[in-house]
A and B are shown apart, each in its own frame.
Chain A
Amino acid sequence: MSTTTTTWLAISGLALVLAGPISYALLLRVPWVRSTAAPNLALVAVGLALGLIAAVRARHGWPVWLAAGDVLLTLMFVGALFGLFRLPAPSQVPGEQAPAPDFTLPDQDGQPVTLSSFRGKGPVLLVFYRGHW
């Protein structure tokens, strides 16, 4: 009975640790999930806890190795989210209420667009993006 419980804990632990990154990849289109990864990290945390409980109960053998795998997967997921994908800090972003720096740039048809030409007409939303590749 006890062994069955340990087996169950170890396997569901690994399943949850794997479900974290997989569900993150599937839910990338949901803005708050993409930005925070909160539900995915929660899945991983629960999975890791189950795996560790299983390892402590078993003391030796495969549940311990599985728990070590859980720890490794968790570190990889957290490391990727917060380390690998970190961007450098912006430098000298103009402050609020400051006059926006003007520019003239070609649009997709090569026609020049000047930011200050919209002054007096209405607000402008600038969307800087990383480019296409």
Chain B
Amino acid sequence: MQQAGGTVLAIASDPVPKCRQVHQANGLPFAVLSDVDLQAITAFGVLHQKGPRGKPIALPANFLIDADGRLRWGHVSRRVQDRVDPADLIQHVRHVIDL
């Protein structure tokens, strides 16, 4: 994705130091954004109001946005263990990049 001129952004409701920890511990090649005010999480409709420990957090979700800023594909998990299949995700990314 990033080699093809795209950008990956991870978003969670964690404060910046927690994001830095996640970024460093996993050696992530993309930015990890801190959404403590739930700005993006709410805008994309993926707020989980009562997460573990009663704190509002994000639902696991992926959104693909094209170069024109339009939403092209999205996936929101319905169960804690449910995640996008990476092979599926790559397919969608390829599709958007090809256009």
Give chain A's interface residues, CB within 8 Å of chain B. 28, 31-32, 34-35, 37, 81-82, 85-103, 105-110, 113, 115-116, 118-133
A96: shortest Cβ distance to chain B, in Å?
Answer: 6
- How many whole Å from B35's CB to the nearest CB in chain A? 5
Given contacts A32-B85, A97-B70, A123-B72, A86 and B78 within 8 Å (CB-CB): yes
Q: Which residues of B contact A (CB under 8 A)?
A: 1, 4-14, 16, 18-24, 31-35, 39-41, 43-49, 51-53, 57-74, 76-87, 89, 93, 96-97
Interface pair B8/A113, CB less than 8 Å apart: no
- Give the one of B69, B70, B74 with max A CB within 10 A: B69
Instruction: Identify whether the interface residues of A are mostly helix, strand, loop, or mixed.
Output: loop
Alpha-carbon distance between A124 and B72 when the two chains are bound, in angstroms: 10
Task: Provide the bound-state CA to CA distance between A58 and B32, in Å.
Answer: 59
Contact across chains for B11 and A101 when beta carbons are under 8 A apart = no
**Known pairs A96-B74, A101-B40, A132-B18; A127 contacts B83 (CB<8 A):** no
CB closest residue in chain B, given A101: B43
